[in-house]
Amino acid sequence: MSKLPRPPLAPMEAELVTTLPVGAAWQYEPKWDGFRCLVFRDGKEVTLQSKNGQPLARYFPEVVAAVAELSPRRFVLDGELVVPVGAEFSFDDLLQRIHPAASRVTRLAQEHPALLIVFDLLADGDGTVLLTAPLRARRRALERFARRHLTSSAGIRLSPATTSPKVALAWLEAAGDSVDGVIAKRLDLPYRSGHRDAMQKVKVRRTADCVIGGFRYASSGRGLGSLLLGLYDGGLLHHVGFCAGFRTAERTALLRRLEPLIEAPGFTGNAPGGPSRWSTKRSTEWNPLKPVLVVEVEYDHYTGGRFRHGTRFLRWRPDKDPKKCTLRQVEQESRIAPLALLRGRPRANPPRRQAGRRRAA
């Protein structure tokens, strides 16, 4: 019997590219918007490991139970944890699981059970290690594993895969919040733990026109730290995120443009937060601005009333009326029904009109 891989095991990662690779060497999968998760089963022991090697089992007891109920006693899976809420996957509900209180985790697991979507098999049902096998062989073994063991499991699903660029491009075109792009994997390569040379990802990027409702100074020096972005809803300007990463010369020039516009209140709805344990008082104090400047930014996700990550500045929009910069721009709906994909029906719902433009990045 082969020696089973043990955690921590660095997962294979993907290089971010702007176009989908095409050719016979590639397999395509939806890029799920969740937590990467490696699953290790060795007898009664079940371990869930995050992308950065941290244990996840205590936050997802229902997934541990689903893995423990499978008949094979020794295997290793690679996949993604998501939380279905209605017809979509909710990243906000997924984030709430990372909580210190076991009672809260138990309640959330009962209200909205998590789902493990598996897309690679690193050790099969009899413990045979597949790390050195090419993806083509690992995928065949994973599909056999799924047919034999996952048919009655409500908490574990097989991720679809295709070698058709046409299908992959349809997934990409229809991507939204539950599916935010496409992963391309080399069929002829082994599992490249910790490397990015066997996988590529194309993510959907979107743009929005936002009002600058305030700014922060840099934590050191007098330069600009970040622009604070706002969108209108019901006549109120809500803080939705930030834009940073400007060069030194740009930060100085931007301050000269912004400081004459300092005027309270800036945001009239949800306002930026205050200092935290990880930042200095100077870096988190913010200055309100008269809401007259509009910028176009690029973002990847809007969830929980905010851009999930920092945005990228694209251009100034002097031609845009600030009052027309509304939340409707970022109300994205996935045109893929993710649960239908997991039932083996890779089809998109009829497109709905989107206010924000989207780009592959």
Q: Looking at the structure, do residues 189 and 227 belong to the same domain, yes or no?
A: no
pLDDT of residue 1: 56
Residue 41: strand pairing partners: 46, 75
Calculate the CA 290 to chain-centre distance: 33
Q: Which amino acid is at 337?
A: A
- Per the domain annotation, does 355 fall within a domain? no
Q: Looking at the structure, do residues 228 and 190 belong to the same domain, yes or no?
A: no
Q: Looking at the structure, do residues 178 and 285 belong to the same domain, yes or no?
A: no
Calculate the CA 60 to chain-centre distance: 18
Q: Looking at the structure, do residues 55 and 102 belong to the same domain, yes or no?
A: yes
Q: Looking at the structure, do residues 71 and 158 belong to the same domain, yes or no?
A: yes
Distance of alpha carbon 2 from alpha carbon 130, whole angstroms = 10
Instruction: Provide the b/e sequence for 210-221 (b: ≥16 CB within 10 Å).
Output: bbbbbbbbbeee
142-171: pLDDT as tens digits: 999 999 999 888 899 999 999 999 999 989
- Say how many domains are in the chain: 2
Least confident of 180-189, 221-230, 263-272: 221-230
Q: Looking at the structure, do residues 163 and 180 belong to the same domain, yes or no?
A: yes
- Per the domain annotation, does 341 fall within a domain? no
Question: How high is the mean pLDDT of the chain?
Answer: 88
- Per the domain annotation, does 1 fall within a domain? no
Q: Looking at the structure, do residues 123 and 246 belong to the same domain, yes or no?
A: no
At which residue do the structure tokens 């209180």 appear? 101
Query: Residue 346 above 60 pLDDT?
Result: no
Q: Looking at the structure, do residues 154 and 211 belong to the same domain, yes or no?
A: no
Calculate the CA 120 to chain-centre distance: 19
Q: Is residue 71 classed exposed, middle or buried when 0-12, 13-18 and 19+ CB atoms within 10 A define those classes? A: exposed
Query: Residue 356 above 70 pLDDT?
Result: no
Distance of alpha carbon 135 from alpha carbon 133, whole angstroms = 6
Banded model confidence at residue 352, pLDDT cuts 50, 70, 90: very low
Query: Residue 101 corresponds to which tokens in the numbers above?
Result: 């209180």
pLDDT of residue 354: 39
Q: Which amino acid is at 159?
A: S
Query: Residue 351 above 60 pLDDT?
Result: no
Contacts of 155 (CB under 8 A, 6+ apart): 62, 63, 65, 66, 113, 114, 115, 116
- Per the domain annotation, does 29 fall within a domain? yes
pLDDT of residue 334: 53
In the chain, how long is the greatest CA-to-CA distance?
72
Contacts of 72 (CB under 8 A, 6+ apart): 41, 124, 125, 126, 145, 149
Q: Which amino acid is at 59?
A: Y
Domain that holds residue 254: 206-330
DSSP state of 160: P
- Per the domain annotation, does 353 fall within a domain? no
pLDDT of residue 336: 65
Q: Which of 69-83, 317-331, 332-346 has the highest mean pLDDT?
A: 69-83
Let me know: does 284 contact 276? Beta carbons within 8 Å.
yes
Query: Residue 279 above 60 pLDDT?
Result: no
Domain boundary among 136, 169, 197: 197
- Per the domain annotation, does 343 fall within a domain? no
Contacts of 103 (CB under 8 A, 6+ apart): none
Give the residue-averaged pLDDT of 92-97. 91
- State the catalytic residues: 31
Contacts of 170 (CB under 8 A, 6+ apart): 346, 348
Q: Looking at the structure, do residues 36 and 184 belong to the same domain, yes or no?
A: yes
pLDDT of residue 266: 95
Q: For 32, what's the count of Cα atoms within 13 Å in the CB-facing half-sphere?
A: 31
pLDDT of residue 348: 37
Q: Looking at the structure, do residues 226 and 125 belong to the same domain, yes or no?
A: no
Here the CATH number for the domain that contains residue 282 is 2.40.50.140
Distance of alpha carbon 243 from alpha carbon 241, whole angstroms = 7
In SS3 terms, 52-85 reads as CCCECHHHCHHHHHHHHCCCCCEEEEEEEEECEE
Q: Looking at the structure, do residues 166 and 216 belong to the same domain, yes or no?
A: no
Here the CATH number for the domain that contains residue 23 is 3.30.470.30
Task: List strand residue ranges (DSSP E) for the chain, in order.
Answer: 15-16, 26-32, 35-42, 45-50, 74-82, 84-85, 88-89, 115-123, 156-158, 179-186, 199-217, 224-233, 236-243, 287-288, 294-299, 302-303, 306-307, 312-316, 358-360
Write the Ramachandran bin of 262: left for phi over 0, alpha for psi from -120 to 50, otherwise beta.
beta
Query: Residue 275 above 50 pLDDT?
Result: no
- Per the domain annotation, does 359 fall within a domain? no
pLDDT top residue among 192 and 302 = 192
- Per the domain annotation, does 9 fall within a domain? no
Q: Looking at the structure, do residues 166 and 211 belong to the same domain, yes or no?
A: no
